[in-house]
């Protein structure tokens, strides 16, 4: 439903009342309050004092859906506190590891995300045409933007780069399943290190994060494998290398669609039935030793994985990781080690995932630089914390509530508030005359430490009353001494 | 220039190699020669002449394409040095907000277009970054945060205790033709007080911005605030019998006073149906230089003068008298302000407004909610960096 666009110079009053129909959840309807109906009738029967003018024309009154758009979230204070708590942990861990924060536009050209390996991320791309008819998209992930920025920086940056970001990513999915259309994702990436030590450090950082928020190796773990396993296998069976990405995407669906469907899709790539059978067998291998028996000991896949396990021990997180040949991950561009975090109870989706992607930059026209990284979303981790009863209890906290006991002292209260704020104390200033009962209620709600009361007699003396709310003690303090 | 839309091949269809997408945009593309080893890889040589170690191209051939390494027109990347500056700025925004006891909130950057449709002719509406999503719904990247705030307040209904003191730092967008090299996005710090009808609210908001300035080393000799009240215009309307529903529109025209020629202003005012005589009087009111002169014109009984006097009195109590001054020409460019309005300006006169805000007591009803007194400000991340 298009709104008719009005220009100032025309004189027509549009008849359109924009009635937004939202799809799944019913909009909350409100009747238009009476005083507004009379206001819209051009001022005739008004009483003496000036009632504020309706600021907009009649056609501006329209019902809107008070809910955020389908699949998106508002963050009222309590939700924002949880989000900030989570993001602060993301950022502090990243800094602990010496990574630098970066960011990119949430909107990128669509071309950045067009990969033809059949990834789900591509099907669900939130793309559209902008007002200039350019194809753009709300980013589904952060890695392509990172790659773009790395190429842009060229020789002006020294490798290796250790960058992190926390950004919102989007997808467009039909809402029958009630799924989200946006989430925030923490990414850490190392650009310019070809060795497995990079992947090992990345996993270490996620372990550090988990430990910080009270999650242990008995709650979660990492399944690790390597895309090189598939490479070696496909090479052995003479499967063309340009099918690599596509085969990985199909394999990634192994636990999500029936095995016959998998075999079918693999068949479409031109793989022989024999090759398919072998492939599926390799993917069900349970140990690195068994894998070595199948592939032989000379390939990079086994060597990389052995090195990773050795480093895991040195980093101190051996009990967190395990080999799992079925892990390939769903992005086409991984070329080496891949890993995903999972909850041991098996109830939740993957918590995070990552791997090496040594060939991404060239797909954008740059020179290849070895790279690896991970993405960690904000949804599953919260579900996990709820499960484990580890969600922090975060309330608002203000140090002082400042209140005037007398209407005439409102200005004095402002002076007191300013004095405290200048000293770095947080202050919730009561801005109009309120009964003390109300003030105490508010103090409880904001978890105030102190109540500072400005009363006539004390103020004449240059003092205020300070009540410590936990103990109930009350003191009279000179403003100049207050801290 | 339209990019050729790639035909999406579905997994089950046989391989049709799509025509290579060559993205053309306004800024010159940084072109890279395709590295040699990829010419090999792209020519489908199956492993024949390759050396020992396995290097697989990870994606199919058609995907090698030139992309623009620059971010989209009018947007910014934040490499580490820029991100440090941004974090420094945002941390100050947030710490000041917390110092004043405000709680942080956030809303989706994407909202339904309807939330921003106001017909007062605001520039913000002309430049709305709107589009149709894949489900043919009209949506927009938000140009400001206040409508989302209003929506959330209505949604919360009686479940929240007033007054609410909320702040946010969020990205806002506009779609403007890029001939002028202007930004299409910026971050904006907002602080709002919902449920407080007294001028103390506006006074506290300005105090918070002063606190922010002082924290980053900016003084009253660098910047100041011009304040006025939309009630001046309301009282004027009543006096001259101008219909109240023209209010928003007239404010938007007046806001352009220093941006377009005065004759243009008079003309646009004329289109609203206001008489030439009323226009002359109106323009005189807006050039008044002191609160006393204003009182002479409007008389002392109205709320406009009372509110402003109270604000100046509170400014003294808050300790920032030297930061604010009355300026009748300040109306601000948003249709929904109803009372005190203010804007931060740099005293050297070189920059655009640093921040702006005011009271908006009638916004919630335009969305179907009950009106609740409200005031707030927006403070962008662009001009302040130029000041400091």
Alpha helices in A213-243 (DSSP H): 227-236
Residues 80-119 in B contacting A (C-alpha not used; CB under 8 Å): 80, 83-84, 86-87, 98-101, 103-115, 117-119
* pLDDT above 80 for A351: yes
pLDDT in tens, A382-425: 999 999 999 999 999 999 999 999 999 999 999 999 999 999 99
The alpha carbon of residue B15 is apart from the nearest alpha carbon of chain A, in Å, by 9
Distance of CA A411 to the CA centre of its chain: 43
Reduced to 3 states (helix: H, G, I; strand: E, B; else coil), residue B110 is: strand
Do A62 and B117 lie within an 8 Å CB cutoff?
yes
Query: Is B48 near chain A, with CB under 8 Å?
Result: no
Q: What is the 3-state secondary structure (H, E, C) of A164-207?
A: EEEEEEECCCCHHHCCCCEEEEEEEEEECCCCCHHHHHHHHHHH
Residues of chain B found within 8 Å of residue A145, distances taken between Cβ atoms: 71, 77
d(CA A421, CA A432): 19
pLDDT value of position A241 = 83
* pLDDT above 80 for A204: yes
| Contact indicator for B35, A151 with CB cutoff of 8 Å | no
Q: Which residues contact B385 (CB under 8 A, 6 or more apart)?
A: B85, B89
| Contact indicator for B37, B55 with CB cutoff of 8 Å | yes
Closest chain A residue by Cα to residue B369: A30
Total-model pTM: 0.85
Q: Is A462 exposed, middle or buried (0-12, 13-18, 19+ CB in 10 A)?
A: exposed
d(CA A296, CA A277): 18
Do B201 and A431 lie within an 8 Å CB cutoff?
yes
Closest chain B residue by Cα to residue A240: B46
Residues 278-317 in B contacting A (C-alpha not used; CB under 8 Å): 302-303, 313-314, 316-317
Of B271, B286, B300, nearest to B332 by C-alpha is: B286
d(CA A286, CA A283): 8
Chain pair A-B, CB pairs under 8 angstroms: 419
Residue B327 structure tokens: 């300026």
Query: Is A252 near chain B, with CB under 8 Å?
Result: no
Q: Residue range A343-362: average pLDDT?
A: 95
For residues B130 and A54, which has the higher predicted lDDT (pLDDT)?
Answer: B130
d(CA A356, CA B55): 13
pLDDT value of position B47 = 35
Of A421, A380, A384, A371, nearest to A401 by C-alpha is: A421
The alpha carbon of residue B279 is apart from the nearest alpha carbon of chain A, in Å, by 17
How large is the angle between the packed helices B303-318 and A410-422, nearest 10 degrees? 40
| Contact indicator for A192, A151 with CB cutoff of 8 Å | no
CA dihedral B31, B37, B39, B43 (to 10 degrees): -150
The alpha carbon of residue B281 is apart from the nearest alpha carbon of chain A, in Å, by 20
Share of chain A above pLDDT 90, in %: 69
Residues in a beta bridge with A429: A402
d(CA A450, CA A397): 11
Do B112 and A22 lie within an 8 Å CB cutoff?
yes
Residues of chain A found within 8 Å of residue B198, distances taken between Cβ atoms: 431-432
* pLDDT above 70 for A23: no
| Contact indicator for B91, A88 with CB cutoff of 8 Å | no
Q: How many residues are present in chain A? A: 483
| Contact indicator for A431, A419 with CB cutoff of 8 Å | no
d(CA B67, CA A364): 6
Reduced to 3 states (helix: H, G, I; strand: E, B; else coil), residue A129 is: strand
pLDDT in tens, A136-161: 999 999 999 999 999 999 999 999 99
d(CA B6, CA A445): 56
Phi, psi of B357 (to 5 degrees): -170, -170
Do B109 and A76 lie within an 8 Å CB cutoff?
no
d(CA B227, CA B91): 27
The alpha carbon of residue B257 is apart from the nearest alpha carbon of chain A, in Å, by 16
E-assigned strands of A44-194? 100-101, 107-109, 126-129, 135-138, 161-170, 182-191
Largest Cα–Cα separation, chain A: 95
Alpha helices in chain B (DSSP H): 36-42, 80-99, 123-126, 146-156, 200-215, 230-240, 247-255, 262-271, 276-286, 291-298, 303-318, 363-366, 383-387
Residues 185-224 in A contacting B (C-alpha not used; CB under 8 Å): none
Phi, psi of A276 (to 5 degrees): -60, -45
Of B205, B224, B232, B196, nearest to B307 by C-alpha is: B232
For residues A184 and B63, which has the higher predicted lDDT (pLDDT)?
Answer: A184
Residues of chain B found within 8 Å of residue A109, distances taken between Cβ atoms: 3, 23, 25, 67-68, 72
The alpha carbon of residue A364 is apart from the nearest alpha carbon of chain B, in Å, by 6
d(CA A269, CA A261): 13
Of B94, B99, B116, B84, nearest to B168 by C-alpha is: B94
Residues of chain B found within 8 Å of residue A62, distances taken between Cβ atoms: 114, 117, 366-368
Do A410 and B200 lie within an 8 Å CB cutoff?
yes
Reduced to 3 states (helix: H, G, I; strand: E, B; else coil), residue B370 is: coil
Q: Residue range A45-66: average pLDDT?
A: 53
Residues of chain A found within 8 Å of residue B72, distances taken between Cβ atoms: 105, 107-109, 136
* Euclidean distance between the first and the last CA atom of chain A, given in angstroms as a whole number: 58
pLDDT value of position A57 = 52
Do A163 and B80 lie within an 8 Å CB cutoff?
yes
Task: Spell out the per-residue pLDDT of chain B, length 388, in tens.
Answer: 433 333 333 333 333 333 333 222 333 333 333 333 332 233 333 333 333 333 334 444 445 667 899 999 999 999 999 999 999 999 999 999 999 999 999 999 999 999 998 767 777 778 999 999 988 999 999 999 999 999 999 999 999 999 999 999 999 999 987 666 789 999 999 999 999 999 999 999 999 999 999 999 999 999 999 999 999 988 888 888 888 888 888 888 888 888 889 999 999 999 988 889 889 988 888 888 899 998 888 877 789 999 999 999 999 999 999 999 999 989 998 889 999 999 999 999 888 899 999 999 999 999 999 999 999 999 999 988 887 7
Do A126 and B106 lie within an 8 Å CB cutoff?
no
Residue B169 structure tokens: 């730092």
Do B161 and A442 lie within an 8 Å CB cutoff?
yes
Q: Which of B131, B147, B245, B338 is the best substitution to test chain A (most A C-beta atoms within 10 A)?
A: B245
Instruction: Assign A175 a pLDDT band (cuts: 50, 70, 90).
Output: low
Residue B188 structure tokens: 């904006």
Residues of chain A found within 8 Å of residue B139, distances taken between Cβ atoms: 69
Q: Residue range A255-266: average pLDDT?
A: 90
The alpha carbon of residue B242 is apart from the nearest alpha carbon of chain A, in Å, by 10
pLDDT in tens, A71-124: 999 999 999 999 999 999 999 999 999 999 999 999 999 999 987 777 787 789
pLDDT value of position A11 = 35
Residues of chain A found within 8 Å of residue B98, distances taken between Cβ atoms: 426
Phi, psi of B378 (to 5 degrees): -120, 140
ipTM of this complex: 0.86
* pLDDT above 70 for A49: no
Q: Residue range A293-311: average pLDDT?
A: 90
Residue B277: C-alpha distances to residues A157, A423, A452, B242 (Å): 65, 54, 54, 12
Distance of CA A199 to the CA centre of its chain: 22
Q: Which of A23, A56, A94, A168 is the best substitution to test chain B (most B C-beta atoms within 10 A)?
A: A56
Considering CB atoms only, which of B118, B155, B166 is closest to A66? B155
The alpha carbon of residue B321 is apart from the nearest alpha carbon of chain A, in Å, by 12
pLDDT value of position A135 = 94
């Amino acid at each position: 439903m298009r709104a008719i666009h009005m220009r100032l110079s025309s004189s027509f009053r549009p008849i359109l009342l924009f009635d937004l129909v939202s799809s799944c959840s019913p909009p909350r309807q409100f009747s238009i309050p009476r005083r507004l109906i009379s206001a819209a009738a051009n001022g005739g029967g008004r009483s003496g004092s000036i009632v504020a003018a309706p600021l907009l024309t009649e056609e501006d009154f329209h019902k809107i859906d008070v809910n955020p758009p389908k699949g998106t979230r508002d963050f009222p204070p309590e939700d924002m506190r949880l989000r900030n708590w989570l993001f602060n942990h993301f950022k502090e861990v990243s800094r602990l590891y010496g990574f630098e924060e970066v960011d990119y536009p949430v909107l990128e050209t669509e071309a950045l995300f067009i990969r033809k390996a059949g990834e789900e991320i591509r099907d669900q791309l939130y793309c559209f045409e902008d007002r200039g008819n350019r194809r753009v998209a709300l980013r589904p992930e952060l890695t392509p933007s990172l790659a773009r920025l790395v190429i842009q920086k060229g020789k002006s940056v020294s490798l290796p780069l250790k960058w992190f970001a926390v950004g919102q990513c989007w997808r467009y999915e039909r809402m029958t399943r009630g799924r989200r259309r946006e989430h925030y994702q923490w990414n850490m990436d190392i650009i310019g290190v070809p060795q497995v030590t990079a992947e090992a450090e990345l996993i270490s950082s996620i372990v550090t994060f988990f430990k910080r928020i009270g999650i242990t190796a008995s709650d979660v773990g990492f399944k690790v494998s390597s895309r090189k396993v598939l490479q070696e296998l496909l090479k052995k069976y003479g499967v063309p290398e340009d099918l690599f990405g596509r085969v990985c995407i199909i394999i990634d669906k192994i636990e999500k669609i029936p095995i016959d469907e998998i075999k079918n899709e693999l068949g479409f790539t031109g793989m022989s039935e024999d090759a398919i059978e072998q492939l599926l067998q390799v993917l069900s291998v349970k140990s690195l030793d068994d894998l070595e028996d199948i592939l032989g000991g000379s390939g990079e896949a086994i060597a990389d994985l052995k090195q990773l396990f050795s480093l895991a021990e040195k980093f101190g997180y051996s009990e967190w990781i395990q080999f799992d040949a079925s892990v390939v991950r769903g992005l086409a561009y991984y070329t080496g080690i891949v890993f995903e975090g999972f909850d041991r109870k098996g109830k939740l989706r993957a918590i995070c995932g990552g791997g090496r992607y040594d060939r991404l930059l060239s797909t954008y026209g740059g020179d290849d630089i070895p790279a690896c990284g991970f993405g960690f979303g904000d949804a599953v981790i919260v579900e996990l914390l709820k499960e484990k009863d580890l969600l922090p209890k975060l309330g608002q906290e203000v140090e002082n509530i400042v209140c005037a006991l007398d209407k005439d002292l409102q200005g004095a209260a402002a002076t007191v508030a300013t004095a405290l704020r200048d000293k770095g104390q947080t202050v919730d200033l009561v801005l109009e005359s309120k009964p003390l009962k109300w003030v105490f209620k508010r103090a409880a709600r904001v978890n105030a430490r102190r109540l500072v009361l400005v009363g006539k007699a004390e103020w004449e003396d240059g003092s205020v009353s300070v009540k410590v709310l936990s103990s109930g003690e009350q003191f009279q303090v000179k403003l100049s001494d207050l801290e």
